[in-house]
A and B are shown apart, each in its own frame.
Chain A
Amino acid sequence: MSRIAARFAVLRAENRGALIPFLEAGDPDLATAEAILRGMPDAGADLIEIGVPFTDPMADGPIIQAASKRGLAAGATLGRTLEMVARFRAVDADTPVVLMGYLNPIDSYGPARFCADAAAAGVDGLIVVDLPSEEADLLEADAHAHGLDIIRLVAPTTADARLPLVLNGSSGFIYYVSITGVTGTRSASDADLAAALPRLRAVTDLPVAIGFGIRSPAQAASAVRIADGAVVASSLIETLARSLDAQGHAGPDTVRLVLDQVRMLADGVRDARTREIVA
């Protein structure tokens, strides 16, 4: 069983949803990003999503664009991101790590070599934003040969008729993009999310994580009441960005502030399904 499947099986047995916090590799510098990654499991991360910086993050809003820019300025590359995951894997054998990014750095690295190196480093899954099902053959065979899950995005614009195509070849979990829009800009209503999930449940047994627009512990809790996981990205990056000094360097509390927020989100998610919903 893959690390992702194993983790969702444990969560299901405990009747709770997954908190999936996000960090951008190299943001604000290589060492600080790695310290945040190392601290996330203890702070309550069930899975971890690592953004790979790209010069042209077309699906991202201003907050993650800025994170990507800081990561690049700090020297983050796909290769260095894999090295960071390998060091993390040496001290944490269980927490699944998913890389999220854009195709061109992978294409440039070479898809086959990348999948081999990513698997060796201990990466568990890949989310490639600009690689829709129609183009997935570029990566799919290599990813599966190395035991990497391909995690597909499903959007509100994805019609029911299209779902089987989108889900074919995907594994690990489904990433439901809860809004039509870029990251960190707006949030879906509970009603919209409640309507979206049955569409997915009808066609897949894979766990579903909701992302885009989940900012607060309460929103994360709502998400895991109907889905299997909640991805929180932009609001963590905002906390990080606020802690930086005028030159954009990490402040003394940067790591602690981000991990404190992960802890609060984890508290919100942990007993979300058993706690009474207070109106």
Chain B
Amino acid sequence: MNPQSQTILPASAPDADPSVPVSARLAARAEVDRADALRPNTLRTGPDERGRFGIFGGRFVAETLMPLILELDQAYEAAKADPGFRQELDFYLKDYVGRPSPLWHARRLSAELGGAQVYLKREELNHTGSHKLNNVMGQILLARRMGRTRIIAETGAGQHGVATATVCALFGLQCVIYMGATDVERQKPNVFRMRLLGAEVHAVSTGAGTLKDSMNEAMRDWVANVHDTYYLIGTVAGPHPYPAMVRDFQCVIGDEARVQMQEAEGRLPDVVVAAVGGGSNAMGIFHPFLDDPAVELIGVEAAGRGLDSGEQAASISRGRPGVLHGNRTYLLQDDHGQITEAHSISAGLDYPGIGPEHAWLHDIGRAQYVGITDDEALAAFQLCTRTEGIIPALECAHALAHVAKIAPAMRPDQIILMNLSGRGDKDIFTVAERLGVSL
């Protein structure tokens, strides 16, 4: 498929009329999306029946798990086709998660950068403080439909773990969270939150004790507890159907942002920017814009101490395709196919892979992936806090740093939409330490 051949949404798009309520416009948008999906020249129909986006994705799991993956796929397809499932999800998204999240015109930040207008999609205002709950809410309802009583999850920064522990508390389900020992140390507030919420938190000390290792351990738990356990993956990675399912649940971000952008500016943004670890917040905001070729999509990977420092987490910029955690994607690996350790100041980006659909969007040139270092992210963290009164998570501080790079070279009538995917309260200890302040 050629990204240049996409249709541009006509000016009379059903989601463009500000006199119609947001919910009605979202419904109209959904109609357009369904119609788009039937046309061959859309980038939004993936994956194929084998769970692949081009050469990426797939289902690379041990035979013990394969029947479970297939069962999950069927259950998800059935839920998607059931209007009752959508209704139930919408109810919880509105009254529990707190959606829709606002779109904020960051005027002081825009003025300070002296170029494009910067709009922030305020996902950090969701319950639990990040975009993670969008996906978790969808999957927990699915797990309940499937009759599962024990929920397991991996977590890096702890945002996905907190979101998972939260819905388990809400529905009275047993919750076990795997978290790398290094991350347990640098994200203490989230560990305490998870335990308060009733979750068992296991510190994983294999490897570097980060997100990759917690995912290995979660898969080992799943294979040993197949009869009652649901593995609630937090990002757009893993074996099919996870990348597609998590994306679908996160698309609410971009669906809302499209409508809100039309409302605020009467047009779509010129650029959409989001941080990418596994890539769920980025996919959630990118996907509804895939078929708008005039909208540039930029994913920001963690360049750690520099893209060529050997200490980074930029799978696309510095990795090559391989297979890990159930899918083919770009991976940080050595010449022998051994996975190398990622590094980032941000625990949520500290992962040597990326979701397979991102790998595909990179290969076909629809999205661009750039790197931002620890230091650049740290500076952007302070910039946003100082100019907007919003303390961003270190993950999205990477996206902010890229916005700060490109905005000054753009015209004041151009628009950057950025996904502010999480709040930074959890990171104040890390930031204080880096700034030489003892708390």
Contacts and interface: CB of A to CB of B under 8 A. Distances in A.
Interface of A: 53-61, 65, 72, 77-79, 103-109, 129-135, 152-159, 162, 166, 177, 180-182, 185
Contact of A58 (B58, B216, B335): B216
A154 B67 CA distance: 11
Contacts of B326: 130
A57 B339 CA distance: 11
Contacts of B340: 55
Given A108-B322, A130-B323, A157 B333 contact: no
B206 A155 contact: no
Interface stretch (B217-225, B256-264, B376-384): B217-225
B60 A131 contact: yes
B224 A106 contact: no
Contacts of A79: 336
B336 A157 contact: no
Contact of B323 (A60, A104, A185): A104
B226 A107 contact: no
A202 B245 CA distance: 37
A153 B65 CA distance: 11
B68 interface: yes
Given A130-B60, A135-B60, 11 more contacts: A53-B338, A58-B219, A58-B220, A59-B220, A104-B324, A130-B326, A153-B62, A157-B67, A180-B225, A180-B226, A182-B224
A54 B216 contact: no
A104 B322 contact: yes
A132 B62 contact: yes
A135 B335 CA distance: 23
Contacts, number: 115
B223 A182 contact: yes
A185 B64 CA distance: 15
B219 A132 contact: no
16 contacts: A56-B207, A58-B216, A108-B333, A109-B337, A131-B60, A134-B50, A152-B63, A153-B63, A155-B62, A155-B63, A155-B64, A157-B65, A162-B67, A177-B63, A177-B64, A180-B225
B398 interface: no
Interface in B292-342: 322-326, 331, 333, 335-340
A108 B64 contact: no
B206 to A, nearest CB: 6
**Closest A-B pairs by Cβ, 8 of them:** A108-B337, A105-B337, A181-B224, A155-B64, A153-B63, A104-B337, A55-B339, A77-B336
Nearest to B336: A77
Contacts of A133: 63, 66
B14 to A, nearest CB: 39
B64 A105 contact: no
B212 interface: yes
Interface of B: 50, 58-68, 206-207, 212, 216, 219-220, 223-227, 322-326, 331, 333, 335-340
**Which of B50, B67, B226, B333 has the most C-beta atoms of chain A within 10 angstroms of its own C-beta?**
B67
A103 B322 CA distance: 9
A166 B67 CA distance: 11
Contacts of B322: 104, 107-108
A154 to B, nearest CB: 6
B64 A180 contact: yes
Nearest to A181: B224
A57 B337 CA distance: 13
Contacts of A61: 220
Contacts of B50: 134
Given A56-B216, A131-B60, A108 B207 contact: no
Nearest to B331: A104
B13 to A, nearest CB: 39
Contacts of B206: 65
Contacts of A103: 60, 323
A94 B160 CA distance: 52
B220 A132 contact: no
Contacts of A152: 63
A61 B220 CA distance: 8
Contacts of A129: 62
Contacts of A162: 66-67
Contact of A104 (B63, B225, B335, B339): B339
A261 B403 CA distance: 63
Contacts of B339: 55-56, 104
B336 A59 contact: no
A105 B338 contact: yes
B67 A130 contact: no
B335 A108 contact: yes
Contact of B61 (A78, A132, A185): A132
Nearest to B335: A108
Contact of A130 (B61, B68, B337): B61
Contact of A135 (B59, B64, B336): B59
A9 B226 CA distance: 36
Nearest to A53: B338
A244 B27 CA distance: 65
Contacts of B331: 104
A59 B216 CA distance: 9
A178 B45 CA distance: 39
Contacts of A153: 62-64
A59 B219 CA distance: 8
A56 B337 contact: no
A58 B333 CA distance: 16
Contacts of A106: 337
A155 B61 CA distance: 12
B357 to A, nearest CB: 18
Contacts of A135: 58-60
A107 B336 CA distance: 9
A158 B337 contact: no
A222 B340 CA distance: 41
A180 B229 CA distance: 12
Contacts of A131: 60
A107 B62 contact: no
A195 to B, nearest CB: 16
A108 B326 CA distance: 16
**Which of A54, A58, A77, A79 has the most C-beta atoms of chain B within 10 angstroms of its own C-beta?**
A58
Contacts of A56: 207, 212, 216, 324-325, 339
A159 B212 CA distance: 30
Nearest to B227: A180
A181 B223 contact: yes
A162 B63 CA distance: 11
Contact of A78 (B66, B224, B325, B336): B336
